[in-house]
Amino acid sequence: MRPTHLIAAFVVVFLWGMNFVPMKVAVSEIPPIFLTGLRMAATALILVGFVSPPRGHYRRVMLLSLVMGTTHYGLIYSGIAEVDVAVTAIVIQLGVPFSAILALVMLNDRFGWRRTLGLIVAFGGVVLLAGEPQTASSLPHLLMIVAAAFFWALANVLIKSLNEIPTFTVVCYMALFASDLGENRRRGADHRRRCRDPVAVAKGRSRTELEPGNRNGAMKKTYQSPNYDERRPDGLIDMLVFHYTGMQTAEEALQRLCDEQAKVSAHYVVDEDGTCHALVDEEHRAWHAGVASWRGNTDINARSIGIEIVNPGHEFGYRPFPSAQLEAVRDLALGVLRRHPIPPRNVVGHSDVAPTRKQDPGELFDWPGLAVSGIGLWTEGDATPVDAADVCRWLERLGYDTTDEEAALLAFQRHFLRHRLTGIADELTRRRLSAVVEFAEMQTA
């Protein structure tokens, strides 16, 4: 080994050892899971402009990001919060014997008596540390660090199967996926905490009443629609559907949605000045989607929240949505997402679930802006174009009913390629379709 290699090895070990002190300081100020996402996001931000996507290897890189980026770092950050830095640095070395054992099991590696003796010594040392009085008092956190060492070892085995991908590409996209996973875990915990509000349960108040509907004040309940029925027994709400009213005035739309003879309604209506009206409580099944389908589900009303956005629509002079209205829609939607487990790919427009009948909320709706706030699915990424013969299958993978392929393709364009409303599967459309489907499935995984 050359002297330069020895020096490089020493520098790596030195920097690795110095890593634990700032780690300890950071977890005293930042929640461990959020810190994990922050670290991964910073890594991805530095590298993403210099590497190409790992096309064809997304699933394996995502698995690595879950094992290494999210689980390993989440555990070690959680453990070091209550364990000394020195103990953490020693215990994490179990990653080496764990790697040897996993290599034996998964890669058919072999080792003799010396390596076996080394494994016994390594594990014995950790047992001694666990028995030390000061360490024993934080045994659960010590076990978190042991688990972190195991997942680090498992990640090493997984990396072995990614030799064909450039190293910095693996690091970048592992960090990119892990930053999203870490944030989703944090948001998921926040969601569960909000949905288990003991004050609300004790007072018997509906979840709709717990939260202001818009940034200008409390939700208005001047209008109440009789057009609803009960949801399914399981009560699962996992979709959010945006509409435009498609009528000349807000008053006209509100009157119709509250007309018993009309047999239509929505949970909310958002006026152009940002005023929000609650017409149907979220626990009830509003009649807003009609004949519709998404991801094979045909009773969209039973599993969704419907938001009507005041706009004349294509029939009466379709126009851009005012900023005050979009801000109110954003705030309202964020409240809905906090109360219900709705994945980004299930935040849709009426035209997405009923492509042969509807075109709302239309191509002027700010899907990209909502996605920045964590509402819905959006990507402008590039990908290998879908084969023309496979367009239907890819649309179905995303969720569309392709009984009428041209209508489904036009609905896709209206949502994800808004300047190209042709209903034709040209190369640009097929590229965007590929990118959106891969992004949706990555988030679901």
Known catalytic membership, residue 230: no
- The CATH class of 211-375 is alpha beta
Half-sphere exposure in the Cβ direction for 252 (13 Å, CA) = 10
* Strands of 347-349's sheet in order across: 276-278, 268-270, 304-309, 239-244, 347-349
Is pTM beyond 0.85 here? no
Q: Using a CB cutoff of 8 Å and minimum separation of 24, what contacts does 101-110 make?
A: 101/153, 102/153, 102/154, 102/156, 102/157, 103/157, 106/157, 107/157, 107/160
Please tell me the predicted confidence (pLDDT) of residue 93: 81
CATH number belonging to the domain at 379-445, selected among 1.10.101.10, 3.40.50.300, 3.40.640.10, 3.90.228.20: 1.10.101.10
Token pair for 132: 């030390």
What are the structural domain ranges in the chain?
3-193, 211-375, 379-445
Q: Count of CB atoms within 10 A of residue 164's CB? A: 8
pLDDT at position 215 is: 42
> One of 209, 230, 260, 308 is an active-site residue; which one?
308
Q: What is the pLDDT along the chain (445 residues), one digit of tens a residue?
A: 678 878 887 887 788 777 888 888 787 677 788 888 888 889 889 998 898 888 888 888 889 889 988 899 889 888 887 777 778 888 888 888 888 888 788 877 676 777 778 778 877 776 666 555 444 446 788 888 899 999 988 988 888 778 788 888 988 988 888 876 444 444 444 433 333 333 332 233 343 443 444 444 457 878 999 999 999 888 799 999 999 999 999 999 999 999 999 999 999 999 999 999 999 999 999 999 999 999 999 999 999 999 999 999 999 999 999 999 999 999 999 999 999 999 999 999 999 999 999 999 999 999 999 999 999 999 987 789 999 999 999 999 999 999 999 999 999 999 999 999 999 999 999 999 999 999 999 877 6
Furthest CA-CA distance within the chain: 86
Specify the residue for token string 């910073």: 42
Torsion of CA 110, 116, 121, 122, to 10 degrees: 20
> Which residue matches tokens 């004349």?
312
From CA 28, how far away is CA 22, in angstroms rounded? 10
